[in-house]
Amino acid sequence: MTRYFFSLISLSVLIVSTVCSAKTAAKETITIAQEPRTLYKRDAYLKELLQRALDAANYSAQLESVVVHPHQQRALIALADNSVDLYWSMTSPERETLAIPIKVPLFKGYIGKRALVTRQLFLNRFADIKSKEQLKGFTAIQGHDWPDTKILAYNDLSVRPFANYQAMFNIVLTGRVDYFPRSFIEVSSELKEVNKQALVIVPNLYISYPSAFYYFVAKHRPELAKTLSDGLAIMQKNGSFDELFNQYFGDDLKALPFDPQNTVEIKLENPYFNH
């Protein structure tokens, strides 16, 4: 009887241990909003940075992408209604009301430095541009729900809003607009992907404005927001944040056609950015 009693205890302990181990082994899932478009180098960087930040904070989770509406604002609304846990995006005051912004500039400010993509045939048009006033005679194209569109309009620059991101390059190619501002960390990989030889970066001229690209976390996941903020802070302190950024974008930044002695930077105001 005693032996039978102890056998039951041993079996109970084994079952409890097995259940606990299974619970420990089961990873939490973090759902990430993903637009249905071509993925670029920046997307791979943001996902790897996210995983490394979680690892730095000792937070075990499985990342799962969920395809959402192709418009950025709709993706942020998906955060607000708890359909997904996380999204990455350029910030604006409105976007910061829809979710919890992790205020670490993921692209170190380069998201606000914009190279001008144009047709090869249009290059001469930009040769003598030195000021914002001169640039007002040209028309840009941007996403209809992008913060950049409002920024350009606020600075009295002509901008055509458009819904289809992939088609914007073709619109530039056909000459229906003059240029497409693209950030320093996006432009090289985008031009390689679209493979349009007639599209080029205007040399020695770019526009800039204060801005930042953040992780946004759904409001129902405050513990994830805190963990991610802590993990990014650890990476910034130990240098692994800069190391990963340079690994992805260092060569692209060096290859941009900007001579430090001759490049014109046209600075714009951004009233939609809370420092």
Mean per-residue pLDDT, 169-197 = 94
**pLDDT band at residue 195, thresholds of 50, 70 and 90?**
confident
Residue 3 falls inside a structural domain: no
8 Å CB contact between 56 and 231: yes
The pLDDT assigned to 196 comes to 82
Query: For position 166, what pLDDT does the model report?
Result: 87
pLDDT higher than 80, residue 19: no
Q: Are residues 173 and 87 in the same domain?
A: no
Range(s) of the domain holding residue 188:
110-211+258-267
Q: Are 144 and 163 in contact (CB under 8 A)?
A: yes
Task: Check residue 67 and give its pLDDT.
Answer: 85
- CA 146, CA 140: separation in Å to the nearest integer? 13
Which CATH number is 158's domain given?
Answer: 3.40.190.10
Question: 213: which 2 tokens?
Answer: 């690209």
Predicted local confidence at residue 1, as pLDDT: 47
Residue 160 clears pLDDT 80, i.e. is over it: yes
pTM: 0.86
147 and 263 belong to one structural domain: yes
Radius of gyration of the chain from its Cα atoms, rounded to whole angstroms = 24
Residues 13 and 80 in one domain: yes
| pLDDT tens string 31-43 | 998 877 777 899 9
Mean pLDDT of the chain: 89
Kindly tell me if the per-residue pLDDT of 274 is higher than 60: yes
Total number of domains constituting the chain: 2
Q: Is 257 within 8 Å of 121 (Cβ atoms)?
A: no
* 166 and 93 within one domain: no
End-to-end Cα, the chain, rounded Å: 73
**pLDDT at residue 81 in the model:** 82
180-183 and 113-119 strand pairing: antiparallel
Kindly state whether residue 2 falls inside one of the protein's structural domains. no
**Overall average pLDDT of the 120-142 stretch:** 97
**Structural domain contains residue 1:** no
Q: Are residues 36 and 120 in the same domain?
A: no
Average pLDDT (2-22) is 42
